[in-house]
Amino acid sequence: MGRLFLNIFFAVIPALALIFYFYMRDSQKKEPVILIWKVFILGFFSVFPALLIEMFLEPFALMSGNLQSMFAKAFIVAALVEEGIKLAVVRLYIFNKPDFDEISDGITYTIAASMGFACFENILYSTGGTMTVLIRAFSAVPLHAVASGIMGYYIGYAKFSGTNTIIRGFLAAIVIHGLYDFVLFTGTALGLLVIPLLIAGWIVLRRLQKDALALDRMAGRS
């Protein structure tokens, strides 16, 4: 029992640490902590509808050949569904609230939703042992932050530019998330490609957050 609690601890801490990291990087105008927690909790419980949809879609993904099945499972069953659920949390709950008043808020709130999702997902995997949880802490959790954070930039940009960039962000999140899952599903050395994928995604996300903060300053939103 003690080991299980330790695994759950390691499952939760990385998600909270990433929320704190990106919250602190949003240095110009802090978001209400209570809203961050609410979005996190909604992301946490959004795992349930995601699981139901994935359970419905998975049999269809497994009907084709092996490579096609892995592709469908990675990009449709996992990436499309999970990023779509996180997008729905942000778009339906926080997007039209007065506190969503900067482009950079799109990144902050979407990462909060994604970390809630990743936290619950990690807890589900915590029964697999400490090593499984630790591997996910340095791979799956950052993956959720990178894919959803990049999508969050385009959500915020869409709100303040009057353009429909949400679709662009959603597609970017699906591609990043799908590629991550696909190379792992192959069960080969291709799985090592997740390392440069996460590094590149992390660099892009940091640059987008920097650009969002600059745009907010220029527009007088900060």
| Number of domains into which the chain is organized | 1
Percent helix, strand and coil across the chain, each rounded to 5? 85, 0, 15
Whole-model pTM: value is 0.94
The token pair that represents 220 in the structure block: 């007088």
**pLDDT over 90 for what percent of the chain?**
73
Nearby residues of 99 by Cβ (< 8 Å), 6 or more positions away:
31, 32, 35, 105
Please determine, for residue 7, whether its predicted confidence score (pLDDT) is greater than 60: yes
- In degrees, to the nearest 5, what angle opens at C-alpha 91 toward C-alphas 194 and 104? 65
Structural domain harbouring 13: 2-23+32-218
Tens-place pLDDT, residues 93-127: 999 999 999 999 999 999 999 999 999 998 888 77
Q: How many residues are present in the chain?
A: 222
- What is the per-residue pLDDT across 193-202, written as a single tens digit (0 to 9) for each? 999 999 999 9
